[in-house]
Amino acid sequence: MRVILVGFGVVGQSLAKLLLSRSADLYSQHGIKPRIVACVDNKGSAVAPAGLDLERLLKAKAKGGVGLYEKSERFEPQQVIENVEAEVVIECTPTDLLTGEPGTSHIISAMRTGKNVISINKGPLALAFPSLIELANYNGVMFRFSGTVGGGTPILEFAKRCLKGDRIVSFQGILNGTTNYILSKMEEGLTYESALADAKEKGYAEAKPELDTDGYDAAAKLVIMANWVMGMKVTMKDVARTGISGVSVADVKKAQSRGNAIKLIAACDSRRLEVKPTEVSKKDPICVNGTLNAVTFSSEHSGSQTIIGRGAGGMETASAVLRDLIEIRDTIFER
């Protein structure tokens, strides 16, 4: 299976390492032999129809960019996506929740040229999920994005596959590890400002943390789940969103005195699509600490189930991409 990698950051590099270390058992156990035929980063490109040498590719990246892989012409992402023959394009450029670019353009080009798409970029999905799904169907290609929600924790797969035959009527969850870390630290007595500073120091929060603290990241994941799990046709603008910057130490203490905790809860049912700080019982399985993510699905017949795991991590997210690759391969094979 030929794969084009668009973007080569932490997840892309983790995927390359994963493929290197597991090539033998991936073939023996899943009959899958992914070949990276092209890789593009923000500075250059590397193309090899017979498959790139992943060790050399990682070394080139470490030295400055995939363009150093070999002396050759530099191609733009669009050129590579449109012209290199491949079964799958993996879109892993940085997420932009305002414009969705350049991911959206990459995905559209890939689908238009008949390629299956795996995205770990949340931007295109948060802003244009319904139309991207339509485009995939129109072009007869598969579109998967397991790594966009929950990192390596298979939240989307759980909902789609494990609860087959039942109907999920609602779900709610902690979908952003950074804000959960900050709120957990506030429970330990830190102010919002010092908890945020601590999260930055530990590498959990970005220099500009608003994407997390204002609830944009959680809202993007909520949109993806609402579309995929509940069959809604919604985008970011449909989410009622409140961040955590207004949560005070006094609020946290008050909740604590009632045996509760304040969590940034993303919730979806037939009436609402909402991200906001919410008081939840400490006895509720959803009430996890630190950078963990947790989602509770409520189904018509099989009750409520909660799934908990780390919501981030390069290798974890790369393993989600690998699951998508295996699914695409299995489906192509069945055709």
Residues forming contacts to a second copy in the complex (CB under 8 A) are: 18, 25-26, 30, 151-154, 157-158, 161-167, 283, 285, 288-289, 292, 294, 299, 301-310, 313, 315-316, 318-320, 322-323, 325-327, 334
Q: Give the end-to-end CA distance of the chain in Å, rounded to a whole number.
A: 15
Query: Cα 90 from chain centroid?
Result: 12
* The pair of three-digit structure tokens given for residue 296, joined into one six-digit string: 């509770």
CB of 99 to a second copy, least distance (A): 30
221 noted as active-site residue: yes
Q: At what angle do helices 314-334 and 10-30 cross, to 10 degrees?
A: 40
Which of these is catalytic: 115, 185, 221, 263?
A: 221
What H or E segment, with its residue span, contains residue 89? strand 88-91
The answer to whether the bond into 77 is cis (omega within 30° of 0) is no
Residue 3 or 26: which CB sits closer to a second copy?
Answer: 26
Contacts of 292 (CB under 8 A, 6+ apart): 174, 177, 180, 308, 309, 310, 311
Residue 78 or 299: which CB sits closer to a second copy?
Answer: 299
CB of 177 to a second copy, least distance (A): 12
The rounded distance, in Å, linking the Cα atoms of 202 and 179 is 13
Rg (CA), the chain: 20
Residue 147 or 209: which CB sits closer to a second copy?
Answer: 147
Q: How many CB atoms lie within 10 A of CB 190?
A: 18
Which DSSP letter does residue 64 get?
T
Residue 40 or 149: which CB sits closer to a second copy?
Answer: 149
CB of 78 to a second copy, least distance (A): 30
What H or E segment, with its residue span, contains residue 46? strand 45-47
Residue 153 or 260: which CB sits closer to a second copy?
Answer: 153
CB of 8 to a second copy, least distance (A): 19
CB of 313 to a second copy, least distance (A): 7
* The pair of three-digit structure tokens given for residue 59, joined into one six-digit string: 């070394």
3-state secondary structure 268-310: ECCCCEEEEEEEEECCCCCCCCCCEEEEEEEECCCCEEEEEEE
Could you give the residue numbers annotated as active site?
A: 221
